[in-house]
Structure 1
Amino acid sequence: MKNDMKPEGWIGRLHWHVGIVLVVTISACGGGGTPQATVELRAEAVVLTGSTALRLRQTARTVQAVYGYSDNGARINYSEGLDWQFTDQGIARTAASRIPDFADYRYVATNGTRFAFSPEPRNPPLTIPFQVYVDYVAIRSDRTIAPAPGAAKHSKVVCLGDSIAAGAHTIANYYFGTDADSYCGLLRTHLATGAEVLNPSVPGGTLAAAQASLPALMAARPQVIVLAFGMNDHLGGGAALPDFEAMLTSTVRDAKAANIQVILVGFFQQNTRWVLEDPTQTLAYNQAIARVAALAGMPFIDIRSAFDRTAPNGNPIEARTGDFMHHPNNFGHRIYFSMLLPYFLAAPVMASTVPNFIDLAE
């Protein structure tokens, strides 16, 4: 298994290991009824347990492909009938399936179901090997994505955050050392030619640690800074919250003075089974970020609510993180990207034209 180091800094080369395409078609109903609108959805991440069927996010008409990744990042294609089956109850492993059974996932608990983190041997183990990605045809209509107020197709963007922004434990980062599957990489891909998306995010980063780099970043005159801290900061607890909020307020104020828009990104509820996690502080820090955004008239991206709302069976950890803790997997980063996208549109677009977009409204 590749070691668990996470690269620092930003890497701009694109990585197409997980391709996402959304194609709209119209399918005739049986018996000559009204045609059904369908779309092809790619790479929805799931974990499968035993032979239990799992419903996909959208109503699936057919499943086209199910695949995972080997220890060296090579794609593993699983076969219908041999490895998986699809019924009106959802998708499920077969008795002889090669798909890893999430029932076999184990971590070392120190207190009931709670665990302490250990880097070597790693505890809890990564969930990347247990996750599979599903391509399927969903029964649903295309929709228009409207630009947010003041949005534009910006030419220079800075993403600044911690290991989440760096893309830790995405397929591209873990196996190939790039940030291409992170939400910053997805923005870079979307903006494409003529745009620069810099990602100097550092694993383990905090807002306090980032203060030294902010003057130089602002002096480079980006139109937008996507600022995403809190996951590490909130471990300081309630005593550290006033300083965090004051520092965030001053950071946003300095950016506004330099005519730079700031998009403030919250953070999702990490695994509550980690002994250092306090969900009340996750909520409190997200509320503080939202307050700063509201007072400054800047956008707040409520990732916490989005992860809760889109989680399979109400649990975002197993199928939305790559580390069973707090690093979003490829699908998790697409949730971030989809919430950020309206702030980078110069005009309305159809969802079917935007690779990696996830309709979070359904």
Structure 2
Amino acid sequence: MNSLRSILTAPFRAFSELKLLGVLLAANLCIALIQSMPVLIPAIGRFGHSLAGRGRPFPSPEAVIDFSKLLAQGGGPFLAGPVILGIVLSFGLQLVLAGGIVSRLCSPRRFSLADFARDCAAQLGRNLRLLGWALLGLLPGVGLVVLVTVLFSRAKKPTLFTLGGEQWALENPFSFWSLTHLALVVVVFALWRSSFDLARVQLYADDQRKTRLAAWRALKRMVRSPGALLGYIAVGLLGLAVVIVFSRLHAAVQVTSAGKAWLALLVAQLVVLARLGFSLATTAFTVDVYRAMVPLPVQNLDPEANAAEPTPAPAGTQMEQAEKQAIGDDAGRS
């Protein structure tokens, strides 16, 4: 497998799926709307359809103060409820759409919303079982990170997880030991996440029903392929850098008018789009890893297309069939 080439082609493959990105972006907007309803409905009932008010600058200082008081009156549940709701919905949506995303990245056919929904439903049960095995496989990784953190602490070596607030504010938190510990955490997490993504590709491409075997096979493949693991990390870090750049751009937009508010919302969607695109890119990278796993080059990972194509018989069987056909022809002529 050419990991460097896959690092470059996986993002292009992901961002070329414009319809798929549109579906994912619309789904995230729906989740954001549902998440904001517990805050948005009381705000609209209290202030009307605009926080600016008529004949007042945007945003109105009086409206901002009143809105802050409204948040304070709600207390913790008023703010924590939407956050928990958003996390649950986002996690559930990712599980529901996982099968359709993998099938889309494996299939050379044109995007079809009906086929996408069908693949999401067909692969949901297997992805749920695979999630159970993945969470079970995450425990040794978490245990390793905790063990190394304890050993670093006893040896009085700094880590980014044990530094206090004053050290973050007054000193440089990045040292040889803290960066080494951070690298270990990144490798362990990437190993777990990449094997999870690769197992989902295997479940779809091989039509495999035993999720435990798929998870174990994917983990062994990623452990034995350091180049593939480093490539997966590189795609993830590239996506993180792009998201940070767009986030800084979003923070630079000062909301001083209604038009600037819509502009900030648009830039925020670019941040979400970049995150979704590189999430697809990591899955597309694992598709390339799967292609390198199979004994013969695989050009089409779509199970339906592969089932429609006739499977060539082995050379020995073809020769035996040819001999039988020749004997039959001689008997017919006799």
State whether TM-score is above 0.5.
no
- Which is helix-richer, 1 or 2? 2
- Which is strand-richer, 1 or 2? 1
Higher relative contact order (CA 8 A, sep 6+): 2
What TM-score do the two structures reach when normalised by structure 2? 0.30
